[in-house]
């Protein structure tokens, strides 16, 4: 019922020739190359994604970095969305662009902007949907068609962490690579660090697998076992979290201290129509603007009790954070870069968990009221 945790780092060989034969037959020789427990996790995710193959990594950032380095070299051009996950922004700006001489163009999630940005040396089109932290929606069908029209020139990649394979399947739309931080919804319990890249073709899988072997960012068999466990309840957790998020988004949208809610499940959201077409549900990630900016926003996140002030997302517990001073803060982005990406001082990111919805609303209510009560006494 439960796959074993195979924690051996290497395997006995019958002869020197046996070592050579292993690479033809696919038998295990060394866990940096392959491991039975990790292979089981990869097989399950490939089935969920409808992929030719999947590769697991020690973190989501490792999955993103290796995916990009698998298909980019010095002098190549990358087109990528903005805003996006701060770790990806860090990889792209501080390493690929600054150190490896890879040209980078940032665009919105509008596929027409990607199309206009393509150059003769463009090799990768990279998107997120819903994007982190503003939940912009990338049209997967249009993005896939753009990639197919440039087949042989570019590789299309989508970070699908916010959606999970339960809510959306990028490869279904002809996209080459679907990327996830397995730390989030796939693991689902805030107790592992992992990443995964799933590919449309066997050839792409081989390329990513070889890069993983070179860079050595392997997933521990122990964490692979926890990942397998988490995948068993992915659909149950996602449905409950989505139920909560839909109710919370509607509640926040009507709150007098909130100026805007970013959630594709709201009919007023610019991405609602496309999200409805390509997602099973609208996800459990909400961002919203608190009126008054920085001070009331920080007060809110610092005064919740049931909800936890913490980075990351996708666990069973609700997590809240302030992007401008935390995940997208000065250690990653300048004030100008942050504002250019639409990340204001009053923005809150909320990963909605599976708690009782009334408890979550009650907690937010008392946190909002605490700031109001404090200012009324001044």
Residues involved in catalysis: 32, 85, 159, 184
219: left (phi over 0), alpha (psi -120 to 50) or beta: beta
In degrees, rounded to 5, the angle at the alpha carbon of residue 84 between the alpha carbons of residues 77 and 279 is 105
Q: Are 66 and 197 in contact (CB under 8 A)?
A: yes
Residue from 146, 168, 128 nearest 278 by CA: 168
Three-state SS for 103-170 is EEEEECCCHHHHHHHCCCCEEEEEEECCCCCCCCCCCHHHHHHHHHHCCCCCEEEEECCCCHHHHCCH
- Token couple for 59: 């973190």
Q: How far does Cα 86 stand from its chain's mean position? A: 11
Sheet strands side by side (includes 177-181): 53-57, 195-199, 177-181, 155-159, 122-128, 77-81, 103-107
C-beta pairs of 28-34 under 8 Å, 24+ apart in sequence: 31/218, 31/221, 32/213, 32/216, 32/218, 33/213
Q: Are 220 and 233 in contact (CB under 8 A)?
A: no
Strand pairing partners for 258?
290
Q: Are 284 and 352 in contact (CB under 8 A)?
A: yes
Q: Which residue has the tokens 């596929």?
A: 111
Q: How far apart are CA 324 and CA 258, in angstroms?
A: 17
Q: How far apart are CA 270 and CA 136, in angstroms?
A: 8
**SS3 label, residue 234:** helix
């Amino acid at each position: 019922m439960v796959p074993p945790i195979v924690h051996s780092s290497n395997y006995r060989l019958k002869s020197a020739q046996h070592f050579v034969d292993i690479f033809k037959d696919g038998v295990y020789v060394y866990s940096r190359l392959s491991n039975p427990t990790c292979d089981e996790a990869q097989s399950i995710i490939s089935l969920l994604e409808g992929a030719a193959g999947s590769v697991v990594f020690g973190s989501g950032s490792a999955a993103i970095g290796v995916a990009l380095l698998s298909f980019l070299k010095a002098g190549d051009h990358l087109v990528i969305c903005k805003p996006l996950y701060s770790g990806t922004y860090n990889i792209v700006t501080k390493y690929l662009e600054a150190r490896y001489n890879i040209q980078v163009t940032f665009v919105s999630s509008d596929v027409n902007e990607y199309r206009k940005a393509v150059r003769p040396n463009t090799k990768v089109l990279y998107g997120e949907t819903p994007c982190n932290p503003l939940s912009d929606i990338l049209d997967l069908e249009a993005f896939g068609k753009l990639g197919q029209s440039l087949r042989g020139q570019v590789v299309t990649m989508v970070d699908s962490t916010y959606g999970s394979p339960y809510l959306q399947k990028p490869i279904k739309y002809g996209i080459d690579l679907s990327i996830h931080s397995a730390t989030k919804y796939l693991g689902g319990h805030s107790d592992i660090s992992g990443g995964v890249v799933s590919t449309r073709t066997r050839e792409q899988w081989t390329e990513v697998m070889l890069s993983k072997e070179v860079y050595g960012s392997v997933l521990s068999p122990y964490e692979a076992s926890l990942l397998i466990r988490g995948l068993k309840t992915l659909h149950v957790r996602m449905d409950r979290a989505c139920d909560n998020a839909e109710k919370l988004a509607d509640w926040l949208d009507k709150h007098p201290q909130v100026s805007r809610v970013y959630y594709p499940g709201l009919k007023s959201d610019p991405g609602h129509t496309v999200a409805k077409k390509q997602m099973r549900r609208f996800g459990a990630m909400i961002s919203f603007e608190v009126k008054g900016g920085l001070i009331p926003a920080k007060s809110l996140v610092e005064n919740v009790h049931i909800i936890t002030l913490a980075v990351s997302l996708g666990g069973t517990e609700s997590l809240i954070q302030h992007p401008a001073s935390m995940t997208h803060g000065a250690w990653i982005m300048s004030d100008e870069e942050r504002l250019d990406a639409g990340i204001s001082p009053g923005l809150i990111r909320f990963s909605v968990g599976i708690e009782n919805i009334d408890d979550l609303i009650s907690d937010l209510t008392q946190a909002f009221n605490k700031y109001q009560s404090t200012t009324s006494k001044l």
